[in-house]
Structure 1
Amino acid sequence: MTTGTPAPTGHVVCGVDGSDFAQHAVDWAADEAVLRGTDLELVHAWEPKAFARHDWYAGLLHDAGVEVLQRHAAHARHRRPGLRVTTDIVRADAADVLEAASARAGLLVVGRRGLGGFTGMLLGSVSRKLAGLTHCPLLVVPADAHGATGGTGADEGTPRSAKPVIVGVSDATCAPAVEWAFQEAALRNLPLRVWHTWAFPPTPAPDSISPPSARAAFAEAQRDGEAMLARVVAPFRAAYPDVEATEEVVNRPAVGALIDFSDGAALTVVATHRRPHDYGRTIGRVTYAALHHAHSAVLLIPVP
């Protein structure tokens, strides 16, 4: 599969804390920057908290952060020779720093889990906060992921596997995530699996529904789901004619489907619907499940 559609614009920003988990995020971020033909910015945040009054401790944290950035930057340049890598270290809350960075980025990358204590940047908690805050798409990389593409150097554009990119669609508001999924499949030269789930809420008296009525209702729900999915996907099929995309409508809860489908995915794309809350914006249960339980890297696309 090939496409002449331009890659997404905007450079890639990756939050790092020195952990092995962050190293996997750097691998992915370097690959993503090369796929997009853009630069990579590595960001480290540190915050003394309880030891703020001790200048020596603040200096220790800063120096450790500089060393972390240098090590990750060297690794990224070795992995992708020719990639332009810049670094930034900030004394502030990690989530606040990365939220601000997302406003200047085309893609923000973090590890699903990270390192707490000494470096003061626990990416595991940060990724959950960022899911409701970022201005650009957020890529969350699990601990066992080693990059969006295989190897280094000559095979920069070669997919790591033939596993598909997958994206779930609840309704038409998920269209931005579907567009990104097509874009990601095109960039990686991978197939795309677009799915929709429907499931009637449990009833306390299932015997009150006669089988003929149930069969008719199930058939109608299936047809409605197929029609909705086809409408959402159609414009992107036209825009990305060389992406091999399949559509699937299944009768099961969305959270379980996402977790199961992600087990065979190269990348899971999720539309993140943010809901207002007294303490800021919160994410839905599907996004929460994707962050905690998806077997692949997860790309969260903010939607209204």
Structure 2
Amino acid sequence: MGHGIVTGFDGSARSEAAVGWAAADAARQGEPLRIVHAWPWLGSAWSDGPAAAPHRGALEELEGLADRLRGTHPGLDVVTEAVADDPADALLARAAEHRLVVLGSRGLGGFAGLLVGSVGLAVAARSTTPVVLVRDGAPAAPAGAADRPEIVVGVAGESSAAVLEFAFAEAERRGARVRAVHGWEAVPFWTAAGWMPPQEDVELRGAELMDVLTKALAPVRAAHPGVEAVAETRTGGAAHALVAASAQADLVVVGRRQHRLGTRLGAVAHAAIHHCTAPVAVVPHD
């Protein structure tokens, strides 16, 4: 695992929110922050044309933003970098050298993107390093809805080990608690009122899944004994359960399977990114 945080900036409010969140997290952990501005035509003949105006403005904002961050977080090591490259490729090339990638996200309808709307999606789907997507308006240093911040993590079988480790490690760093959620669909049956699940079956299946979830949490709880953790199962499916549980979360953690055909995110990750108001961490796993 690399060290420090890399984030992208394109002059938009969404990317500025992501940079602010990344700076607060880097300062909290005593890690360096690298801010990347990527522009395909940087340094070329295009840099003097009309298409370069947003790029020049973003560079000026980038330097001003870095100065403000150093003032807000004294001692924070901030490095800025402007590169002539596709934004997604530039960020992916630097991802492996860092612990975390942080990018802006529109949520509810798409990704902010750096110059193009697909950058956040492309990086989250292809990065071997966890990617956090931050919505515009998200606080740079969330305080949680209660006395302690909370991290919500979606749990889906044995493949969740790496996702759980990330969630518990982040909770340990932040002094947060973990809410581990498993969502499932109840099998309905037909009545005069329509399709309904038998209540006794729901309760039995819920108890069985809670036992499985508790066992899945045992190793990571043992590895992080100081982290308070709550386990819960919810009906309505994995995506619905995760979004519902995240209403007051400071960070939502979902998994993304690696080595799949293509570079697509799963349905649960998409639901979290589009519908959770909290920042969403997408964690790759085998």
- TM-score over 0.5 for the alignment? yes
Range that drifts further, 102-111 or 40-49: 40-49
Q: Distance in 1 between matches of 2:226 and 2:118?
A: 38
Q: Which residue of 1 aligns with 2:281?
A: 299
Structure 1 residues 208-250: Cα deviation after superposition (integer angstroms, max 9, x where no partner): 9xx9x94554344223311221122111211222211111112
Structure 1 residues 128-163: Cα deviation after superposition (integer angstroms, max 9, x where no partner): 11121112110111112121356xxxxxxx999634
Q: Which residue of 2 aligns with 1:66?
A: 59
Matched, 1:193 2:193: no
Structure 1 residues 2-44: Cα deviation after superposition (integer angstroms, max 9, x where no partner): xxxxxx8611001111112112111111111122221000001
Identify which of 129, 133, 145 aligns with 2:122. 129
Pairwise CA distance, 1:83:
0.5
Question: 2:249 is paired with a residue of what secondary structure?
Answer: coil
Matched, 1:87 2:80: yes
Q: Distance in 2 between matches of 1:301 and 1:294?
A: 16
Q: Which residue of 2 aligns with 1:104?
A: 97
Pairwise CA distance, 1:53:
6.0
Q: Which runs of 5+ in 1 are unaligned?
A: 1-7, 115-119, 151-157
Q: Distance in 2 between matches of 1:222 and 1:251?
A: 8
Taking a change above 3 Å as real, the CA distance of residues 62 and 18 of structure 1, as seen in their structure-2 partners, is closer
Does the 8 Å contact 1:21/1:111 carry over to 2?
A: yes
Question: 1:225 is paired with a residue of what secondary structure?
Answer: helix
1:213-228 matches, within 5 Å, as 214-215=198-199, 217-228=201-212
Aligned length: 276
Does the 8 Å contact 1:27/1:79 carry over to 2?
A: no
Cα RMSD over matched residues?
2.9
Q: Which residue of 2 aligns with 1:258?
A: 242
Q: Which residue of 2 aligns with 1:283?
A: 265
Does the 8 Å contact 1:15/1:43 carry over to 2?
A: yes
Matched, 1:166 2:135: no
Identity of aligned residues (%): 33
Pairwise CA distance, 1:94:
0.9
Q: Which runs of 5+ in 2 are unaligned?
A: 108-112
Taking a change above 3 Å as real, the CA distance of residues 166 and 124 of structure 1, as seen in their structure-2 partners, is farther
Identify which of 218, 224, 227 aligns with 1:234. 218
Pairwise CA distance, 1:61:
5.5
Does the 8 Å contact 1:39/1:84 carry over to 2?
A: yes
Q: Distance in 2 between matches of 1:84 and 1:138?
A: 20
Structure 1 residues 161-187: Cα deviation after superposition (integer angstroms, max 9, x where no partner): 634111110111011111111111111
Q: Which residue of 2 aligns with 1:22?
A: 15
Taking a change above 3 Å as real, the CA distance of residues 252 and 61 of structure 1, as seen in their structure-2 partners, is closer
Matched, 1:244 2:216: no
Q: Distance in 2 between matches of 1:21 and 1:301?
A: 21
TM-score, reference length from structure 1: 0.81
Taking a change above 3 Å as real, the CA distance of residues 270 and 21 of structure 1, as seen in their structure-2 partners, is same
Matched, 1:38 2:31: yes
Q: Distance in 2 between matches of 1:36 and 1:188?
A: 9
